[in-house]
Amino acid sequence: MESGLSRTAVDSAEWQAIPVFERPLHVGQPNIGDRAMFDGLVDQMFERRWLSNDGPLVQDFEQRIADFAGVKHCVAMSNGTAALEIAIRALGLSGEVIVPSYTFVATAHALQWQGITPVFADIDPLTHNLDPESVRRMITPRTTGIIGVHLWGRPAPVRELQEIADEHGLQLMFDAAHAFATTLGGKRIGGFGRAEIFSFHATKFFNTFEGGAVVTDDDEIAAAARLMRNFGFAGHDNVVSDGTNAKMTEVCAAMGLTNLAGVDAVIETNHRNYTAYQDALSGIPGVRLTQYDEAEECNFQYITVEVDDGPVSRDEIVAALISKNVLARKYFWPGCHRMQPYRDLYPDAGALLPNTEKVAARVIVLPTGTAVDEDAVASISEMIRVLTGGHAL
C-alpha cells in the first residue's frame, strides 16, 4: 500500500495479529426474526391465495405499526422511497423543498424525481441533523416545505423546524427511515410534522424485506396516500386521483409481523453492541463514537464513528477494515450535493455546506445487529485502535 498506513499500521505486528473474519461482517446485515412464525404466516397467505393489494397481513401490520408509533394512520408501502414520494405529493409540495444534503440520496431523489427542487441545507456537526439556522437561510419565495431527516435514528430538531415552518407558512414532514422505535421527549417518532415516513428495507434493524410506510395523525394525508399507492382506486373501476403502484405485498407484511414480535430483542442486541463499542473505543484520541441520548428510546441501529485527520485517513481505515472482512461504510459520503444530478446542477453548493463536507469526510459506519457479537465488536475496535496510530497501545 502506497500510504502512511503501510508504515504506521498495517505492517505492524499488532495489525497482523488480528485475525481476518471468516465471513464478511456487513453494515446493515438483516435481522431475521422467528422463522416458524414467518412460515406460519406465509402458509396462511398461500392458503388464502391473497398475495398483495391490501391483504389481511398488510392490514394487521399497518394497525400494529400505527399502535407502536402512537399515530392514527399507517399506510404501508413497497419501500421507503415510494413512501417519501407519496407523502411529498400528498402534502402538495412543489417549487423548492429544503432537505439536508447529509442523508441517503433517496431523500433528495424523491423530490427531484417529481420535478421539485431539493435545496440543501447544512447540518449541525454534533448531531448530524439539519441546522435550523441554515434552513432559514435557504428559504426563498419558491419554498413550499422542509423535510427533516432523523439521521441515525437521532431526532431532528423538530420544535425549531416546526417554528420555522409555521413562521413561513411551509409544510413540514420527516424522513424517519432510520427512526422506527425511537422517541423525542418521550413521544415516539412517527407523529411529528404533517407526516413521517419509515423505511423497512432489509438493511434496517426492523425489516419487511423491502418496505416502508407513511405515518401520520392527519386524516386527509392518510386518505390521499392510501389512494395514491394503489393507482388512485377508491373501489372497483373508480379512480379518483392520480397514483402509482406502491403497495406492500403480503409476504413483506408477514416478515414485518414476524420481526415486530422480536423487535425488542434486536434493540437489546444493538444496545449491547453500542455499549461494547463505546467502552472499547473510548480513550482512543481522534476517534469519537456518535452518541445516542439514552434518556430517550433509541434503536441503536447505526454505529458511527468520526475520525479526525491524522497520519491515517478515514478512507485508509475503511480500506484496511475491509481487508479484514469488516465491510465498514462511509455513509453518507460525499453528501447528496456531490452526487448526480445535483453535482452538475449546483456545482458550488459545497460552499454553503461546510459542516456537511467535514462530517461526510470523517464518518465510518461499523457493523452491528444480531450478526455481530461482543467478540466481533472487541476485534473491530482493536483494529481501529491499531489503525489510528496505536495511541492507546
Q: Which residues contact 288 (CB under 8 A, 6 or more apart)?
A: 305, 306
Burial class (CB in 10 A: 0-12, 13-18, 19+), 23: exposed
Q: Which is nearer to ligand T4K, 62 or 175 (CB)?
A: 175
CB of 77 to ligand T4K, least distance (A): 8
Decide if 297 contacts 188 (C-beta within 8 A).
yes
Binding mask 62-91 for ligand T4K (x = CB under 6 A): -----------------xxx----------
Q: How far apart are CA 365 and CA 304, in angstroms?
A: 4
Under the criterion CB under 6 A, does residue 192 sit at the interface with ligand T4K? no
Size of the site for ligand T4K (CB under 6 A): 23
Nearer to ligand T4K, 151 or 386 (CB): 151
Answer yes or no whether residue 177 interacts with ligand T4K by CB under 6 A.
Answer: yes
| Distant-in-sequence, close-in-space partners of 234: CB < 8 Å, separation ≥ 6 | 227, 240
Residue 107 in the binding site for ligand T4K (CB under 6 A): yes
CB of 190 to ligand T4K, least distance (A): 15
- CA angle at 107 for the pair 297 and 215, rounded to the nearest 5°: 50
Helix (H) or strand (E) holding 46: helix 35-48
Nearest C-alpha neighbor of 208 from the set 60, 44, 367, 365: 60
Return the amino acid letter for 351.
A
**Which of residues 212 and 243 has its CB atom nearest to ligand T4K in the complex?**
212
**Closest CB to ligand T4K among 106 and 359?**
106
CA distances from 174 to 42, 48, 216, 245 (A): 32, 36, 10, 22
Q: 194, 199, 193, 174: which is closest to 76 by C-alpha?
A: 199
Kindly state the smallest distance separating residue 300's Cβ from ligand T4K, in Å.
16
The distance of closest approach from Cβ of residue 14 to ligand T4K in the complex, given in angstroms and rounded to an integer, is 26
Residue 149 binds ligand T4K (CB under 6 A): yes
Among 106, 119, 266, 363, binds ligand T4K (CB under 6 A): 106
CB of 26 to ligand T4K, least distance (A): 4
At a CB cut-off of 8 Å and minimum separation 6, what does 111 contact?
Answer: 88, 93, 97, 99, 117, 118, 147
Binding mask 361-380 for ligand T4K (x = CB under 6 A): --------------------
Greatest distance between any 2 Cα atoms in the chain: 72
Contacts of ligand T4K in 306-335 (CB under 6 A): 327, 331
Residue nearest to ligand T4K (CB): 80
Give the nearest distance from C-beta 107 to ligand T4K in angstroms. 5
Neighbouring-strand partners of residue 197: 175, 214
CB 16 within 8 A of CB 388: no
Residue 97 sits at φ, ψ, to 5 deg, of -130, 135
- Sketch the per residue contact string, 195 through 214, with ligand T4K: x for CB under 6 A, - otherwise: ----x-xxx--------x--
SS3 category, 122: coil
Tell me which residues in 14-43 interact with ligand T4K (CB under 6 A).
26-30
List residues binding ligand T4K (CB under 6 A). Answer: 26-30, 79-81, 103-104, 106-107, 149, 175, 177-178, 199, 201-203, 212, 327, 331
